[in-house]
Every structure is written in structure tokens, then in C-alpha cells.
Amino acid sequence: MQTILAFAFVLGVLVFVHELGHFLAAKRVGIKVLKFQLGFNPTVLSFRRGDTEYSIGALPLGGYVKMAGENPEDARTGRSDEFLSKSKWERFQVLIMGPVMNLLLAFILTAVILYQGAEKLAYEDQPVVVGSVLTGSPAAQVGIEPGDRVLSVADKTVDTWEDFYIAVSMRANREVPIRFIRDGAEQTRAVTPGASKESRFEIGEIGVLPNVHPHIGSVVPGEAAEKAGLQANDVVLAIDGETITFSRQLRDAIAKRPEQPMTMSILRGGSPITVTATPARRGDSGLLGILPVDDTVRINPGAFEAVTMSLQKNMQYAGLILETLWGLFTRETSPKQLMGPVAIAQLSGETAQLGLIALLSLMASISLNLGLLNLLPIPVLDGGHILIMALEGIARRDFSMRVKEKMLLAGFVLLMMLMVTVIYNDLTRITWIERLMPWR
């Protein structure tokens, strides 16, 4: 139920904001709006105010604004308040305001979220210096080693670990050149990122980790860690010779060794020491009695800084979205990274469990995607209608109904192909459905 409610909330807000843009722009230029509906029929609530009927449909998968004289086949009176009676500039304003409102919503939500403050892993803003390489990983197979300083991925400069992860994640199962410095000399290796097993989406990874380690935040009195001599602020470098980079690796390593002695390489006060500890058994898992913590930095921007950061982040994410779309066209990005309504519903439910801020963050991301996708020059979408008007302006004449129908049909077919792809992707992420697909 929480998943359904979260999905309805997220999609409802996004559709409302989008259609509100069209509605307000239409009213501003003097177009008569006949209906403003959220969701699809059957209608569960409806009322009229002035010339407009406002209604809510039972299926929260979209919405629309119906304007007088909007379609060429509609009966027209020639009145000045009809959509097609307006100039191309006025119609452009109506069409563009839907996507603009989604982009504006993404900007406002991101600014609000940033203003609340947030924590991020400290290493994300650091240069990409390889700390360790996972055995058997794509990076290990091509000879990338600890200490290598990665400069670019697929000829795109990566200044930080955040840049690096984004660049690699978009190219699962696609061979990419990775340029790095080793001992002062530049080298390039062709690497094929594998798909992460920890994600339902096809996210690329090559198996390199930063040179960071978790520390012990606290030690539970009387538990195995205290008995072994572990202390708060000890930095855990390795367990049984296996490098530990993140706190989740430390928790997993402990859980796998109930009642088994393990050798821990520790950094205490800058000095390396070795501690032998034996996790107690709790059910089928090991428990040491420590709180593993990753090094983080907290961001607490002021109002103006939050607005500036929101603008920067949305521009960055917009560039990534456009790069992903281009990657789909050039086959550098896997279509399996696309998600449809089922995946959005799942994410909405999972994110809602993390709190309102997490849900608003997801909404901001989807709103940015929705705004940009609607601006694509594909007939049927707002951007497609704008393209047709622009071509008519260049030709200095309106296209015939037959030509417009063919263009809209082509756009509809393309959109349906995309919809089939994303829904197929969504279904393959549901375990019991994927088992029914013998070809996978």
C-alpha cells in the first residue's frame, strides 16, 4: 500500500505541475480551457468553475489539459479564444510551459533538499587514485593497479570519484578506453565494465575502489571487539589480508565469520597494529560489537548557496540525461538502464521508507527527466509539436492535416517502442517474472 500511495503522490505532483504549466500559459494568452484532468478515466471526482471542468481520474498515470480548438479536427468557431486561432508564438508559450514547470520543480526541490543539509562520503570529491582492485574484476583483467591515477573514461575527463562512477555506470558491457597515470607516464587500457550485481539496473562497474577505510565509531562493552582490544576511532585496513574499503564490507566480513578468529589490520593513532578478534554467533551471522563508520563530510549551505548548488547540480544532471539519450542512439548506453512506471513505483515505495526528503529527491530527479524528455523533438511530445510549428514557420505555411497525421503517427510509434522497452526492463527486474523468461 505504501508503494501505491508513494507512486500516486510522486506521479500526481509531477503531472499536476506539468499540466498546470500548460493551463496557466493558456489562460495568460487568452485560450479557453475546457478541461483540466489528473489521471485517466474513469473519473472519480469532477466539478466546474467558469468555463473549465476540473476532474480526477482513477488511474494516476498521466493527465491533460483540453483547450478549445486545440486539434485541427475539432469543430472550430473561429473565436479568438481557440488554441489554433492564436499566433505561433502564443501557442509556443503554451506548449513550452509544461516542461518548463517540471524543470522549475526539479530546481526548487533540489534547492530545498540541499538547504536541509546533507552528508556525503568524503572521498567522492577527491581525485581518482586507485586504492585497491577487486580480484577478477574488469580492471584487474586489463592490469589496472593500486596507485594508478585515472584521468578520463571514454575520453571524458574525470576529476573526482563521483565523476568516475557516473562515467563508468553508464557504460555497462560497453568497451571504453580508460586513461591513467602510473609512475609519471600516461597509459590507456580498454575496459569493459560489468553490470553491478547489487543493482536491479544495468549499472557499469570495473572493480576499482578508492584508498579509504572505515573506522570504528564505537565499541559495545562486553562484546567480542572489546575483549579483543579494539577501540573507537581504530581504522580497519584489512581482514585476513583482504582490503576493507567501506563499512558495508567490514560488516559483511564480520557476518561471514561467526566464531572464527580473524586477523584485523588496524591503524591506531597513525600506527599500524594487528588485532585478532573472534565474532560471536548471533543466529547464522557473526557479531563483533562495533559500529563501522565511513568518513563523511556534511554540507550545510545557506539559502543563496543552496539555490546556486541546485542550479549547478540540475545542469550537471541534465547533461548526463542528454548524454544517456545520445548514448542510446549511438549504442554506448544500454537500454536496460531505462525504467518505466513499474520501476518508478518500486523506487517510490522504497524511497518513501527512507523519509520525505528522500522521496522529494526522487521526485526532483524524475521531474528533471520528465521536463527534458518532453522537450525532445518527437511528434506527440510537447517538443514535437514545437518542432512542427517551427518547420511550418520556416516553410511559411501550415502543413496539411495528412502530413501532420503522418508525423504524429511516426512519433507515436517511436514512443510506443520506447514504452515497450521500459516496461520489459521493469518486468525483468521482478524476480518471479524473470524466472518465466527462459531466454534470459
Residues annotated catalytic, as ranges? 19
Strand 235-239 and strand 176-182: the pairing is unpaired
3-state secondary structure 313-378: HHHHHHHHHHHHHHHHHHCCCCHHHCCCHHHHHHHHHHHHCCCHHHHHHHHHHHHHHHHHHHCCCC
Strand partners, 239: 242, 264
Contact 344, 425 (CB under 8 A): no
Q: What are phi and psi of 118, to 5 degrees?
A: -160, 160
Contact 3, 345 (CB under 8 A): yes
d(CA 104, CA 19): 13
Task: Give residues with Cβ within 8 angstroms of 177, minimum separation 6.
Answer: 152, 153, 154, 155, 188, 189, 190, 191
106, burial (CB in 10 Å: exposed 0-12, middle 13-18, buried 19+): buried
Q: List % helix, strand, coil for the chain (3-state, nearest 5).
A: 45, 25, 30
Indicate the residue type of 357: I
Read off the C-alpha cell for 124: 567522492
d(CA 419, CA 341): 9
d(CA 301, CA 304): 8
d(CA 380, CA 309): 34
